[in-house]
Structure 1
Amino acid sequence: MKKYLSLFLIIILTLSIISCTIDENDVETSEENTDIKEDEGAVDEKEKELKEITLYFTDKQAMNLLTEKRIIEIDESMKVDEIATLIIQELKKGPIESNRLPTLPAEIEILDVKVVGNIAEVNLSSKELTGGSTQEILLASSIVKSLAQLEEINKVQFYVDGKIQESLMGHLYIGEPYTEEMINEMIDTK
């Protein structure tokens, strides 16, 4: 009987030692996985950044441009073209504040936004690109002023269907790139 009891105790003791060893390994592995996940999270946080931008919309009388702040999410790997495209997309969404009106109608298609040197090239589709002189000036002004806040952009050149045209809607000459200063001479901003 003593032999059986001794054998039984040895087996219990052996199993206890084995199970403790396995638990310690699991804990170490679990801690390592947590460390890896935390490191991955740190990388994601480094890559993504919230950036405040200023967008320009018109007042209800279509006389002045009014500013509106937005937050966009960018990451370190984004090129200036991509950030400029995000800004244009935010303009297309229209204003949030009720005392502002959109300057870039949602039905106007943006074909492409590229930055070459310090010039943003904004390519618009001719479809739905109609309006009066005031609407044309407000459209061009809001795009130029919204994009000019990026350090890499000093001018904006408009294209229609991939070509430099005389005007967007028949009123405002767009054969040359616009600077923010040129826009400031045309329209008031508040």
Structure 2
Amino acid sequence: MKKISLILLMMAMMVAFIGCNRTPVETPVPPVQTENPQPLEGTDTVVDPAPDGEITRVTLYFANNEYIVTGDARAEKVLPLERDITVGEKSVEEMILLELQNSPQDDDLSTNLENIKVLSVDTAEGVAYVNVAGERLSGGSLEETLVIYQIVYSLTELDDIEAVQFLVDGSKRETLMGHMSIEEPLKREDFSL
């Protein structure tokens, strides 16, 4: 009996010894697919070539560089540029403001909205309420004028918007940057290009 126990003990030790020397095989884990994958920070964003939503042609107004450089009062302050935008999760008004923040390809045009943080855009009874963050609002009268012109002219191109009411951090203010009154909704007719 002692011999059988010793043989069984030796066999168990051999099996254990052989099992310990094996290199574990790693099973690859397939990547988890999510419905709306988020890009990793520091990586390029992948743009869907066929985005969901409806493509709409809009007229955007950008700052006229000739006016900025020369200050010639006869030159138009802003000039129109047509673009196709995709309207889906965001409203057409929100998409217009996003597009206004991107510099145009045309060397004759520029934007003054690239540093402005738009918090929200809501439309009611023909007025677009554009709520911007106060933290990045600074500049002279030229910058303020061009920001207001770009937004008012671009949004009033839409059939259902007659005026734009600017809000800063959700409240009415006297001015955006200290120069032009924004206490009341502004219409295109309030300005002369």
TM > 0.5: yes
Percentage of matched positions with identical amino acids: 34
1:58 aligns with 2:63: yes
Amino acid of the structure 1 residue aligned with 2:133: S
CA positional deviation for 1:107: 2.0
Answer 1 or 2: which has greater helix percent. Answer: 1
Gaps of 5+ in 2: 1-51, 72-76
Aligned to 2:35: none
Runs of 4+ in 1 over 3 A off after TM superposition: none
Q: Tell me the residue number matched to 1:147.
A: 155
TM-score (norm 1): 0.66
Amino acid at match of 1:99: D
TM (norm. structure 2) is 0.65
Aligned residues: 135
Matched position secondary structure for 1:127 = helix
User: CA-to-partner distance for each residue in 1:83-117, whole Å, 9 max, x for gaps?
Assistant: 1000000001121211111121x221001100011
Q: 2:98 aligns with which of 89, 101, 111?
A: 89
The more displaced of 132-141 and 167-176 is 132-141
RMSD between aligned residues: 1.9
Query: In the TM superposition, what is the alpha-carbon distance from 1:181 to its structure 2 partner?
Result: 0.9
Q: Which residue of 2 aligns with 1:71?
A: 84
Listed as ranges, the gaps of 5+ residues in structure 1 are 1-46
SS of the equivalent of 2:180 reads: coil
Q: Could you say which structure has the greater relative contact order, defined with CA pairs below 8 angstroms and 6 or more residues apart?
A: 1
Matched, 1:164 2:156: no
C-alpha distance in 1 between matches for 2:151 and 2:94 = 11
CA deviations on 1:35-80 (whole Å, 9 max, x unpaired) are xxxxxxxxxxxx94322111111122325211111001235xx7xx
CA offsets per residue over residues 8-41 of structure 1, 9 Å max, x none?
xxxxxxxxxxxxxxxxxxxxxxxxxxxxxxxxxx
Equivalent position amino acid for 1:49 in 2 = E
SS at match of 1:93: coil
132, 136, 148: which is aligned to 1:124? 132
Aligned to 2:74: none
